Structure 1
């Protein structure tokens, strides 16, 4: 097997910012003057280590500008709190919104970083009361925190899980409402064999949560993907010498083409005929 040992900076589409947004998204930066489709999501929508993410493939297939607002390590809060990107998505003919993990949102138990939502910032009083034996200064990432809480007490962890899922539905509903319901949800599911903590992506998102949003959107595309390692899809990815372990967990170029095929079939009927 061969693969590109280059810096991720060698990718086409350097990160860019739109307007007053502080969130780095996938370039190239595109004009918003013509009709377009917007794509909001995290690392998978951004297409980390992939030269031509599925958003690029859809641009040529749909014949309409496709604005990639995906950002590495972004979670749902990244977009809910970003009026610039929300405004861009609201101006789209339709927005594709990735169903991101429920672990990476601020909630009554803990706060996350406002842009890099995978980063744990602070435990709330409710979590300190629920887990008085835990020193929360030891945690920097939400997954590590949640794995530890579950290992200490599965029963108490159920309270945290239920609250995260309630917060996720509320936050998703708020974003869908801000986009005026012109939304196709992308439920991009895949399994990480090496992750014994929460191996299924998106984390803590289940069918009941998807069904709660179904009446609010134009559709939900559930797509089962494989990581680059599982799909033997590392060839053609672009990454530095030390980034191979991370690249193995990402979605590779062949899977991006499969996602584009599936999305094209959903989006074409939603767009005005030329």
Structure 2
């Protein structure tokens, strides 16, 4: 286990931006000329506390530049709001998309920050009418808000969960539609996709996403890669991670370098297969409008929530 004292240097993520993007990605910065593979994802793709995250390991294995567009605590909205990122992904030989939770997207019940998707901005009138007994002013983050709502209104929370699942499915389809090339979905967690979600708790990350939702996306991608961690990776804990003492509790909840190695191996094998016939393809560059499709409908046209 690697612990950093508070007076020591922490891991340098070499943050960088591409084009006119408004968010900082994990470096080192890559050139976007020629052939490359794009990686979209959240904290795991970014590689928090990890010296060499799996996109960089894949690059070493397949011999093509791998551009890390992972962002800490990202939801799907940040990628749909950054039109240049969609263009870069569209121009890639292949794009690996980490399966993210459904909590960090704007929906009919609440809005999140367009770039920092884990930030809860405000509830909608519909949310306030269903949860009239909840004080939303005390919440700044989506997970904290959802935990509070689920504890205060167990029966009514099922409506929130289904709304988020529906919004996630629509948003994923939109993201996939914006990327015309080869696309790979990645389930990167210490457990398989659930077949059934818990009713009285939020569940495990990626929140509210089950195997049926993933199966519905299979026709639109070239593959779905599920990382089944070895027992060694499960037991490794924080071994090889770089963090300060005060970050230890957070680090213990995350996947370590061994898990990233195993993800890179499985991903590189799949990417080598799908890329073997695309080496002579001319690069494409597609620009999309900078917007998130609005799945919201007027309240009188939507299904009614619980009374």
Out of 239, 246, 250, the position equivalent to 1:246 is 250
Out of 269, 272, 275, the position equivalent to 1:271 is 275
Quick one: distance in 1 between partners of 2:233 and 2:115?
28
Out of 219, 228, 231, the position equivalent to 2:235 is 231
Check 1:221–1:56 CA distance in 2 against 1; reply closer, same or farther (3 A cut): same
Match of 2:43 in 1: 43
Check 1:72–1:225 CA distance in 2 against 1; reply closer, same or farther (3 A cut): farther
Quick one: distance in 1 between partners of 2:68 and 2:210?
26
Match of 2:171 in 1: 171
Q: Alpha-carbon deviation of 1:74?
A: 1.3
Task: Output aligned runs, 1:155-234, within 5 Å.
Answer: 155-180=155-180, 182-190=182-190, 197-225=201-229, 231-234=235-238
Q: Which has the larger radius of gyration?
A: 2
Match of 2:113 in 1: 113
RMSD of aligned Cα (Å): 2.2
Q: Alpha-carbon deviation of 1:12?
A: 5.1
Q: Alpha-carbon deviation of 1:13?
A: 4.3
Q: Alpha-carbon deviation of 1:9?
A: 6.5
**Which secondary structure state, in structure 2, belongs to the residue aligned with residue 270 of structure 1?**
helix
Quick one: distance in 2 between partners of 1:30 and 1:174?
26
Deviations 1:168-214 (A, max 9, x none): 011010010000152100112336xxxx9534110000011101111
Q: Alpha-carbon deviation of 1:154?
A: 2.5
Match of 2:295 in 1: none
Q: Alpha-carbon deviation of 1:32?
A: 0.9
Task: Output aligned runs, 1:56-135, within 5 Å.
Answer: 56-135=56-135
Q: Greater CA deviation, 213-222 or 40-49?
A: 213-222
**Which secondary structure state, in structure 1, belongs to the residue aligned with residue 24 of structure 2?**
coil
| 5+ residue gaps, structure 2 | 192-199, 280-307
Quick one: distance in 2 between partners of 1:9 and 1:255?
24
Q: Alpha-carbon deviation of 1:101?
A: 0.3
More strand by share: 1
Check 1:78–1:225 CA distance in 2 against 1; reply closer, same or farther (3 A cut): farther
Task: Output aligned runs, 1:11-22, within 5 Å.
Answer: 11=11, 13-22=13-22
Quick one: distance in 2 between partners of 1:136 and 1:229?
39
Quick one: distance in 2 between partners of 1:88 and 1:9?
33
Check 1:9–1:182 CA distance in 2 against 1; reply closer, same or farther (3 A cut): farther
Check 1:21–1:198 CA distance in 2 against 1; reply closer, same or farther (3 A cut): same
Q: Greater CA deviation, 154-163 or 92-101?
A: 154-163
Check 1:146–1:258 CA distance in 2 against 1; reply closer, same or farther (3 A cut): same
**Which secondary structure state, in structure 1, belongs to the residue aligned with residue 22 of structure 2?**
coil
Q: Alpha-carbon deviation of 1:254?
A: 0.8
Q: Greater CA deviation, 207-216 or 145-154?
A: 145-154
Contact kept in structure 2, 1:77 and 1:105, CA below 8 Å: yes
| 5+ residue gaps, structure 1 | none
Q: Alpha-carbon deviation of 1:10?
A: 4.2
Quick one: distance in 1 between partners of 2:161 and 2:243?
34
Match of 2:150 in 1: 150
Check 1:54–1:6 CA distance in 2 against 1; reply closer, same or farther (3 A cut): farther
TM score, norm. by length of structure 2: 0.82
- Aligned residue pairs: how many? 269
